[in-house]
Amino acid sequence: DAGITQSPRHKVTETGTPVTLRCHQTENHRYMYWYRQDPGHGLRLIHYSYGVKDTDKGEVSDGYSVSRSKTEDFLLTLESATSSQTSVYFCAITTPGQNNEQFFGPGTRLTVL
Amino acid sequence: DAKTTQPPSMDCAEGRAANLPCNHSTISGNEYVYWYRQIHSQGPQYIIHGLKNNETNEMASLIITEDRKSSTLILPHATLRDTAVYYCIVRVAEETSGSRLTFGEGTQLTVNP
C-alpha cells in the first residue's frame, strides 16, 4: 500500500462548514495527488503536489485548496462544503522509477448534507 | 493526454481469459498505455503499462497494435477476485510534473462462476 493513510475514512458534515482531509505517507515520496470519485465515474484530479509548498491545480480544483508543509502530509480543504462535494476522495503518490505508477490510499467517504 | 474508449461492461467465465479492449486512436508517439483496476470501493491498482511492445507481468498481458491505436488487456485465467472496473489510460510517462492520470469511465468486468 506504499504506506499511505487517509483520515478521516468517513465524514458527514453540513453545508457551509469547513472540512480538511489528510493524506499521510511514510516513504518520502515527492509527488502526491488528490482525486475525487463520484458514483459510476472515474477519478478526477483535484490538486497535486510536487514537493513541500509546491502544489498545482487539477481539472476540478474549484472549491478546494491544498497545503503541503512537510513531505509526509498533503491536506485537502473544503473551505465551505457544498452538497456537490459529496464524494469519495482518494489520495495517491507516485513511486519513482521505470513504471511511474501511482499508489492510492483507501479513500475518504465525505457526505455533505 | 489522449482520450480512450472502452466498453462499459463485459462478462467472463471464471477460469477463462478475459480480453479487455481499449481504443486510443489519437495517441502520440511519446504516450504510454497504462491499465489500472478498481475493486469495489478501493483505490485503483496499477496493473501494467507499455509503449509499443507487448508486455507481460504476473497479473496480465498487454497487447498493443502495431499502429498503437488500440490495445487489449488480457487476464489469462480470470478469477472471481478479478471482478472490478478496469481503466485504460494514455499518458506521457516522463512528465516533470509527475504522473497525473486522466481516468475515463472504464470497463466493469464481471467474472461469473
pLDDT of residue A84: 96
Cβ contacts of B101 within 8 Å, gap of 6 or more: A43, A45, A102, B34, B36, B89, B91
The mean pLDDT value of chain A amounts to: 92
Residue A97 has pLDDT above 80, yes or no: no
Question: With contacts defined as CB-CB under 8 Å, which chain A residues touch B98?
Answer: 30-31, 33, 48, 50, 94
Residue A94 pLDDT class (50, 70, 90 cuts): confident
The mean pLDDT value of chain B amounts to: 91
Taking a C-beta distance cutoff of 8 angstroms, is the pair B18, B8 a contact? no
Question: With contacts defined as CB-CB under 8 Å, which chain B residues touch A100?
Answer: 93-94, 99
Task: Please tell me which residue, B88 or B97, carries the higher pLDDT value.
Answer: B88
Contact at CB, B44 and A43, closer than 8 angstroms: yes
Chain B residue with Cα closest to A39: B41
Place of cell 487539477: A58
Question: With contacts defined as CB-CB under 8 Å, which chain A residues touch B41?
Answer: 88, 107
pLDDT of residue A1: 57
Q: For residue A30, with 0-12 CB atoms within 10 Å meaning exposed, 13-18 middle and 19 or more buried, which class applies? A: middle
Q: Which of B100, B40, B28, B39 is nearest to B68 (CA)?
A: B28
Place of cell 473544503: A78
Residue B95 has pLDDT above 60, yes or no: no
Residue A73 has pLDDT above 80, yes or no: yes
Q: What is the pLDDT of residues B19-74, one digit of tens each?
A: 999 999 999 888 899 999 999 889 999 999 999 989 999 999 999 999 999 999 99
Contact at CB, A107 and B42, closer than 8 angstroms: yes
Q: Which of A55, A49, A61 is nearest to A92 (CA)?
A: A49
Chain A residue with Cα closest to B38: A42
Beta strand pairing call for B55-56 and B61-64 = antiparallel
Q: What is the pLDDT of residues A37-65, one digit of tens each?
A: 998 888 999 999 988 999 999 999 999 99
Measure CB to CB from residue A43 to each of B42, B98, B103 and give the nearest one.
Answer: B103
Question: With contacts defined as CB-CB under 8 Å, which chain B residues touch A58?
Answer: 100
B104 in reach of chain A (CB within 8 A): yes
Residue B97 has pLDDT above 60, yes or no: no
Residue B5 has pLDDT above 80, yes or no: yes
